[in-house]
Homo-oligomer: A and B are copies of this chain.
Amino acid sequence: MKYRRSGRLVDMTQYLLQHPHQQIPLTFFSERYQAAKSSISEDISIIKELFETKELGIIETAAGAAGGVIFVPTVGSGDALTQVRDLCLELEDPGRILPGGYLYMMDIVGDPAKMQELGRMFASHYRDQNVTAIMTMATKGIPLAYAVAMHLNVPVSIVRHDQRITEGSIVSINYVSGSSKRIQTMSLARRSLKPQSNVLIVDDFMKAGGTIRGMIDLAAEFDSTVAGVAVLTEAVHEETKLVDTYTSLTKLSHVDVQSRKITVEPGNMFSK
C-alpha cells in the first residue's frame, strides 16, 4: 500500500512513540510505506523538528550502513516543573493526612495518565545512563516503575516483602527499615533480573531510605550495578538518610497532624 506524506507522518509518529529507545532502520519505514529513503529522511526531519520544538523527545540518527533512527522521550524542564508544582498543591490537601502521619496517595498512584507523565520525567532524566532494568518494591512503586520502564524500553523486576512467590528460586535479603529499625526481608525471583544489569530503582516514597538501601544491596546480589534511584516523594527525615544519591520529584517537607497542614515542594530533580 502506498502512503502520501501526510499519512506517513501520522503513522511514523505513532510508531516512534510506541518504540522508544529502539533503533529503527530507515529501510523499515521505506518498506512499510513503499517510499524512497530520501522521502523517509525528509519525513523524519519534519518529526524531529516538531519533537524538538515541543520538547517531546530527541530523534537520534544512528550511524552505519544500515542507517536508522532512535526516539528518546524527553520532557521540557518548564513543563515538568509546572506539572510537579500542580502535584505539590494536590498533595498539600489536608484531607490526605492519615493516622500515623501517613499521607493518602493512592489517587495519585492510581491515575495511569499521571503515572505516565511522571514516569516520562524520570525516563528523560536518566536517558543517557544506559539503564537496562527497573527495580521496584511491591505494591505502590509498581505503577511509576512501569511508566519509567515503558519510556526507557527496559524490563521491570518487582521485589516483594513476602516470600510466597511462585516464581522458582528466590534471592532474599534482610534489611533494617530506617524508620522503624525493624529487621525485614525482601525477595526477588532469581530469574527476574539478568546478571550484569544496570538498574534504576524506582519507588513511590522514601523516608530514611531503608527499603531503597535494601534494593541496592539486592542488586549487588545479582552482580548488577545501580544507575540511579528515583522516588516520587521523599519525606524530610530528621536522621541520616541511608541513600546518598537519588532523584525525587516531590519533597514532603512538613506534616503537622495537629494543625492539619502539609507542605510539599518540588524535589531535588529541580534543585540545580
Contacts and interface: CB of A to CB of B under 8 A. Distances in A.
Contacts of A11: 50, 54
A27 to B, nearest CB: 19
B98 A168 contact: yes
A56 interface: yes
Contact of A191 (B6, B51, B106, B154): B106
A93 to B, nearest CB: 12
Nearest to A114: B155
A14 B71 CA distance: 13
Nearest to A152: B112
Contacts of A155: 107, 110-112
Contacts of A47: 10
Contact of A166 (B102, B143, B158): B102
Interface in A1-54: 1, 5-7, 9-11, 13-14, 17-19, 46-47, 49-51, 53-54
Contacts of A53: 1, 7
Nearest to A101: B166
A151 to B, nearest CB: 9
Contact of A110 (B19, B50, B156): B156
Interface of A: 1, 5-7, 9-11, 13-14, 17-19, 46-47, 49-51, 53-54, 56, 98-100, 102, 104, 106-107, 110-113, 115-116, 138-140, 142-143, 146, 149-150, 153-158, 160, 162, 166-168, 189, 191-192
Contacts of A17: 14, 17
A187 to B, nearest CB: 12
Nearest to A6: B46
A110 B142 CA distance: 10
A260 to B, nearest CB: 14
A98 B167 contact: yes
A95 to B, nearest CB: 9
Q: Nearest 7 pairs between A and B by C-beta?
A: A112-B150, A13-B13, A112-B149, A102-B166, A10-B50, A138-B139, A106-B192
Contacts of A112: 146, 149-150, 153-156
A46 B7 contact: yes
A50 B7 contact: yes
A60 B102 CA distance: 43
Contacts of A6: 5-6, 9, 46
Given A10-B10, A18-B116, A106-B158, 6 more contacts: A10-B50, A104-B167, A104-B191, A113-B153, A115-B146, A139-B139
